Amino acid sequence: MPLIALAPGVLYLPGAVNSFVVVGRAKDALLIDTGLDDSHARKLLRAVAEAGLTPCGILNTHSHADHHGGNAFVLGRFPELKIFAPPLEDALITHPILEPLSLFGARPPRELQNKFLLAPPSPARLAPEPGLCRIGGADIELIEVAGHASMMYAVRVGEVLYAADALFGPEALDKHPLTFCADSGLQKASAATLADLEGVRTVLPGHGGPTDDLAGLVAVNLAAYQRTTDAVLGAVKGGEASIDELLARVCSALDVTMTNAGAVVLNRAVVSAHLTELLEAGRVEMKVLGNKLIFGAQG
């Protein structure tokens, strides 16, 4: 599959996760997010070569495995490339075991050590601070959009915005009603901030196709994020319960069926993030009861 042009010198490779490519000096190509695994990375390198470009660097917008799982394969072909990532995220990319460890709370069982939660390690370094910068010969603007991950960057090049996972395409939101987040309040704030950007003609989410309707995409995402908050609050109002009990109630309300341990720990984290937001808003209370961490409605 060839790279698709969004603007002169700005291209992307569609996939389960999109890879964003920015042309720098001469025929240099900055690769932004390398996909889940070797298969996606192989397609990315082939498409870049067919376009007459040569990789000059890698930027991972955040540390989730589906966005940096292809790094190791790319480095196998281009070992001189430098990898950049936001603060905190660079540590997880360098030491990927931190992701399943944090989700499980201890050394994760083998079932949680799969490519969706545990990418091959790659040596990431700290990306420049948000703002205009040059990475690997490509001029880009980094925009902080934390929330989905502890830290994350969206990337703007002229009139094109790669929103990473600050925004999702409508199909992705429908497929995954419990959209992952580390901080649901920040997730909403970051999405809303993108709506204020002026001069963006094309926006590409990390998952989904490009659109010229930035405001509309932001509105769809904010509605989905709020729907999850409302579902968590509704679950709490159903009676005092533990996180796992609340997760089951939320899944029932949103028609979500979990069939593997990875889905459970990811969705459990989502419920936990929204519970923290509701605790800070004074709408939920937390206590220890019967050797369990219990959440109940406030007031």
Q: What is the mean pLDDT of residues 159-169?
A: 98
pLDDT at site 241: 98
Handedness of CA 78, 25, 40, 270 (dihedral sign): positive
Using the predicted structure, report yes or no on whether residue 291 has a pLDDT greater than 80. Answer: yes
pLDDT at site 196: 95
Predicted confidence band at 192 (pLDDT cuts at 50, 70, 90)? Answer: very high
- Three-state DSSP class for residue 94: helix
Q: What is the mean pLDDT of residues 221-235?
A: 98
Using the predicted structure, report yes or no on whether residue 299 has a pLDDT greater than 80. Answer: no
Using the predicted structure, report yes or no on whether residue 45 has a pLDDT greater than 80. Answer: yes
Predicted confidence band at 26 (pLDDT cuts at 50, 70, 90)? Answer: confident
Q: What is the mean pLDDT of residues 38-60?
A: 98
Q: pLDDT tens-digit profile of 60-103? A: 999 999 999 999 999 999 999 999 999 999 999 999 999 999 99
Using the predicted structure, report yes or no on whether residue 142 has a pLDDT greater than 90. Answer: yes
Across-strand partners of 54?
A: 28
Q: Which ranges constitute the DSSP H helices of the chain?
A: 38-50, 65-68, 71-77, 89-94, 98-104, 170-175, 184-195, 214-237, 243-254, 261-280
Note the pTM of the prediction, 2 decimals.
Answer: 0.97
Distances (CA, A) of 152 to 61, 126, 143, 270: 5, 12, 8, 17
Q: pLDDT tens-digit profile of 125-136? A: 999 999 999 998
Predicted confidence band at 48 (pLDDT cuts at 50, 70, 90)? Answer: very high
Q: pLDDT tens-digit profile of 255-279? A: 999 999 999 999 999 999 999 999 9
Tokens standing for 184?
A: 């649901």
Using the predicted structure, report yes or no on whether residue 25 has a pLDDT greater than 90. Answer: no
pLDDT at site 99: 98
Mean pLDDT of the chain: 98
Tokens standing for 92?
A: 């997880």
Predicted confidence band at 207 (pLDDT cuts at 50, 70, 90)? Answer: very high
CATH number of 1-144: 3.60.15.10
Between CA 123 and CA 199 the distance in angstroms is 35
pLDDT at site 120: 98
Between CA 180 and CA 200 the distance in angstroms is 26
Does 1-144 match 234-297 in CATH topology?
no
Between CA 137 and CA 28 the distance in angstroms is 7
Q: What is the mean pLDDT of residues 149-159?
A: 98
Annotation: CATH topology of 234-297: Arc Repressor Mutant, subunit A (1.10.10)
Q: In the chain, what are the domain boundaries?
A: 1-144, 234-297
pLDDT at site 114: 97
Using the predicted structure, report yes or no on whether residue 190 has a pLDDT greater than 80. Answer: yes
DSSP 249: H
